[in-house]
Amino acid sequence: MLARNFGLRLRLILVVFPLTCALASSAYAQSSPQSATGTHGNRTIQAVRTELPVVLDGSLDEPAWQQAPISLGFVQKDPQEGEPSTERTEFRVVYTATSLYIGVVCYDSSPERILATERRRDNDLRTDDAITIVLDTFHDHRNAFLFRTNPLGTKYDALITDEGKNVNVNWDERWEVASQITAAGWTAEFEIPFKSLRVSSQDVQAWGLDLERMIRRKNEWAYWNGFRRGFQLEDVSQAGHLEALEEIETGLRLRVKPFALAGFRHSSDPTRSTLRNSSDMGMEVMKWRITPGLTADVTWRTDFAQTEVDDLQVNLERFPLFFPEKREFFQEGSGVFDFGTATRGTTSNLRLFHSRQIGLSPRRRPVPIVAGGRITGKLQGFTLGLLNVQTEPLLSEGIPASNYGMLRVKRDVLSRSTVGAFLMNREKAGDNDFNRVYGVDSIFVFRQYFTVDGFLAKSDEPGVEGNWAASANAKWNSDFLLVGMEFLSIDPNFRDDLGFVRRTNIRRYAPSLAFRPRFGIRGVRQMEFSGAMDYMVDHNNRVVRRTDKYIFNTFFEDGGILRIIPVVYNFDRVEEPFEISPGVTIPAGNYSWNVYVLRYTLSPARRLSGTIDFSHRRGFYGGNMYKWQFTPLLKLTENLSVNVNYLINDAELPGGSFVDHVVNTRINYAFNNQWLTSTTLQHDNRTSFLGVNFRLNYIFRPGDDFFLVYNEGRRALFDSEDRRITGVFDGRKDRSLQLKLTYSFDF
C-alpha cells in the first residue's frame, strides 16, 4: 500500500507538473503582457546600446563607456536628509543584446580611509563601503533584483518581494562585478546578463532603478533617487527609471544543473557503531523559462550537504523554537510563498508556510526528497507560485512518506497593494491522514507610510471540523512616528503541517507607539522612545500571556546603538508543568516578573564590532535569572574574520538552579573571492554537545560550486538514573565527510 501510494504521488509530479507548465505557456502565447503604469521616482537615465566590447576590470576606460551619459547628484538620507552627498558619485549604463553594464565611480577625498574588509560571497557588506543597485525589471514598483559590491569586488545579491516584505538573500544568479581602489576613490563595473533576470517580452522596456552608496566611516547613506527617510532601498516604489532598453534577448530557456556527491557518515555510541556510504548523484535543479516572467524548477534526489548548520538555541519556554530556512532550492523564489506571518519582537508566533517542514524532521534530521517541482513568476497580471514535493519515509523517527503541495496566487492592486489566496496540502502515504490549509490575504499601503494587512486561513483534517487562524494589522511607520495595532487569532485545533505554529488557542492584541526625534545632539543621530503591549488571551478570554515593554534607543553618528529597557512586565499562565532545564521543572500556576535590559552595539566600521547585552529577569518563574550575551565580530584582515555568539543564562528557581553556556563561533577565511572557507564551532553545556563544521566552497564559475564539508558532533555520556554526566563527550558521536560538485548546462 505504501509503495503504491508512493508511486502514485511520484507519477503525479511527473505528469501534472509538465502539464501545468504547458497550460501556462499556452495562456501566455494568447496574451500580451501589460506594463505597469504610473510614475513614482522623479529621475531618469537612458541606457545606451553598444556593440563595443566591455572588459570587466573595474576601470571604465573602454570606448563603450564614453558613449553613455553620466548621471550625478546623489543625495543623503543620513546624516543630512536631502543634502548632497559629501563625496561625489557618478554612474553610466550601457547594454548589449545579452547583458546590462553599470559602471560606478565613487570619488573619495580620503581614499586611504576607504573600508574594504570582506570577501565572503553573500555577506551583506554592511561593515564596508559599498554600492548597491536595485532593478525593478517589470516596473511594477514592488519587486526587484538587488546587487551589491564593495571595493574588493565581493558579490551580494538578493530578490526583493513586495517592497522588502521578503528579501531572499539566498537567491544566487550569474552576474559579474570588478572593483578597484584608485587615487581618486574606487570604481565598480557590473555585468548583469538578461538571462539571469525575469523581464517582460516587450521590444522597448523601462525598468525601475536606484543606487545606494554607503560611506561606512561616515555612516553616510546616499541615493540616486529614493533618499527620503522612512523608506529603505527595498521600497522600490521610490526608485528612479531606466529607459531605452530595446530588443534585448530575454535569455535562458533551459538550465540543467546536476550534482555529484561522494562521502560517508559515521555514527557511534558506547553500544554500537555504523558507517554508511553517502555518495549520490541527482538533479540540483532543472530550470525552464516557460515565459520571460514565469519559471519552472524541478529537483530530483535533492541533497543539501553544503547547507550551513543551524545556530544552537536555548529554549526557556514550552513552545517550539523557530529555525530559518537555509536550503537553496526552497529559498529561491521564496518571496512568492511568504504570507501569513506574525511575530512578537524577534519571535515568530506563526508562519502559515514554512518550507523547513518539508524534508526535515522535528529533530532537524534530513528526510529524503524523491523529487520536487515549482513554478513561480508573473502571468497575465497575476503572481503565481506552485510547489509539489514528494518525500520518502524516515523510519528512525516514524515519519511516513508524504506529498506536499502548495498553490499561491496574488494580484497587484492600487499603486503599492496586493490581494491573494493560497492553498496548502499534505497527504501521508499508507493512511487517510491529510492536512489542508487555505485562505486569503492582503496588504494595502496608503499615504506612503500607512499599511493595513491581514489574512484569514482555515485548516481541514480527517474527523476534525475546520479551525481558523486570522490576523489584522494596521501601522503608520515613518522616520519620526510609529503607531501600530496587531491582532492574531488561532483556534485551539488549528493544524498546519506546512507551517510554523508556535501555540494555538490564542487571541493576541498588540498595540505599539514610538517617537524617533532628531534633537541635533553632538554625536547623536537619532533617539527612539517606544512602548508596546502584547496581550494574549485564550478562546475562553482568560489571560495566558502579557508583556508591557518600554524602550529607549540612542543611535550614534558612528553607527553605534545604546538600548535601555528600564522595565518589561511579563505575565505567564502555565497550564501544565514543564521542564525548563534538565532536572528543573516549572509547576503549573500564574507567574509574573520584570526584566531590565542594557545593550550596546559597537559601530560596524570598527575592526572589532558586535553587541554586548545584559538583562535581569527579577521574579522569573518565582526566582531570578541573569542573561549575558556577547557577539563580537573581529575582522583581522580582509581575508580573516572571527564571529562569536556567546550566551550565558544564570537562573535560580524554586525548582532548582542552572547555568547555560551556549557558544556559536564562526571563523571565516577567504583565499580570494572564489575560494572561501568557514569553520563553525558549537558548544551547549545543557545537552553536553560539541560540534565542528568545516566548509570549503570553490566557486569555479558563477552558479557552479565545489564543496568540501566535514561535520562532527559529540555528546557526553549521561546516566539517566543518576541524572549526571559520566563521560565527557563519550556518548553519541556523529561525523561525516562529503564532497559535492555542481555543474550547469544552459540551453
pLDDT of residue 746: 83
Nearest alpha-carbon partner for 128 in 190, 211, 186, 215: 215
Nearest alpha-carbon partner for 101 in 143, 44, 56: 56
List of residues 6+ apart from 283 with CB closer than 8 A: 256, 257, 258, 259, 298, 299, 300, 301, 302
Indicate the pLDDT class of residue 133, thresholds 50, 70 and 90: very high
Nearest alpha-carbon partner for 246 in 53, 36, 47: 47
Contact of 487 with 452, CB cutoff 8 Å: no
Q: Which residues of 358-391 are buried (b: 16+ CB within 10 A; e: fewer)?
A: bbbeeeeebbebbbbbbbbbbbbeebbbbbbbbb
CA angle 89, 47, 57 (to 5 degrees): 60
pLDDT of residue 249: 83
Contact of 353 with 406, CB cutoff 8 Å: yes
User: Positive or negative, the Cα torsion across 36, 38, 40, 45?
Assistant: positive
> Could you give the dihedral angle defined by the CA atoms of residues 636, 124, 321 and 723, in that order, rounded to the nearest 10 degrees?
-10
Residue type, 204: V
Contact of 596 with 583, CB cutoff 8 Å: no
How far apart CA 160 and CA 339 sit, in angstroms, is 14
Query: Domains in the chain and their CATH numbers?
Result: 38-246 (2.60.40.1190), 524-660 (no CATH)
Contact of 491 with 470, CB cutoff 8 Å: no
List of residues 6+ apart from 728 with CB closer than 8 A: 688, 716
Indicate the pLDDT class of residue 196, thresholds 50, 70 and 90: confident
Nearest alpha-carbon partner for 594 in 614, 624, 574: 624
pLDDT in tens, 58-91: 999 899 999 899 999 999 999 999 999 999 999 9
DSSP 444: E
pLDDT of residue 365: 83
How far apart CA 742 and CA 704 sit, in angstroms, is 5
Determine how many CB atoms are found less than 10 A away from the CB of residue 23.
11
**Bridge-based pairing state of the strands 89-95 and 99-107:** antiparallel
Enclosing H/E stretch for 3:
helix 2-29
Nearest alpha-carbon partner for 573 in 588, 586, 584: 588
Indicate the pLDDT class of residue 3, thresholds 50, 70 and 90: very low
3-state secondary structure 621-688: CCEEEEEEEECCEEECCCCEEEEEEEEEEEEEECCEEEEEEEEEEEEEEECCCCEEEEEEEEEECCCC
pLDDT in tens, 480-514: 999 999 999 999 999 999 999 999 999 999 999 99
Indicate the pLDDT class of residue 312, thresholds 50, 70 and 90: confident
> Could you give the dihedral angle defined by the CA atoms of residues 124, 126, 128 and 132, in that order, rounded to the nearest 10 degrees?
70
pLDDT in tens, 205-259: 999 999 999 999 999 999 999 899 989 999 999 999 999 899 888 766 888 999 9
Task: Quote the pTM value.
Answer: 0.87
List of residues 6+ apart from 217 with CB closer than 8 A: 113, 115, 129, 605
Range 436-455 average pLDDT: 92
pLDDT of residue 110: 95
| Least confident stretch, 268-282, 441-455, 465-479 | 268-282
- Per-residue pLDDT at 13 exceeds 50: no
pLDDT of residue 656: 94
- Per-residue pLDDT at 360 exceeds 90: no
Q: Which residue has the cell 552558479?
A: 703
DSSP 216: G
**Bridge-based pairing state of the strands 689-701 and 724-727:** unpaired
Indicate the pLDDT class of residue 309, thresholds 50, 70 and 90: confident
Range 616-644 average pLDDT: 95
- The torsion angles phi and psi of 468, rounded to 5 degrees, stand at -120, 155
Indicate the pLDDT class of residue 587, thresholds 50, 70 and 90: very high
Range 142-165 average pLDDT: 92
Q: Which residue has the cell 509538465?
A: 18
List of residues 6+ apart from 716 with CB closer than 8 A: 688, 725, 726, 727, 728, 729, 730, 731
Q: Which residues of 27-42 are buried (b: 16+ CB within 10 A; e: fewer)?
A: ebeeeebeebeeebbe
Residue type, 21: C
pLDDT of residue 40: 66
Strands (E) across 20-165 are located at 44-46, 48-49, 75-78, 89-95, 99-107, 130-136, 144-149, 156-161
How far apart CA 67 and CA 379 sit, in angstroms, is 36
- Per-residue pLDDT at 633 exceeds 50: yes
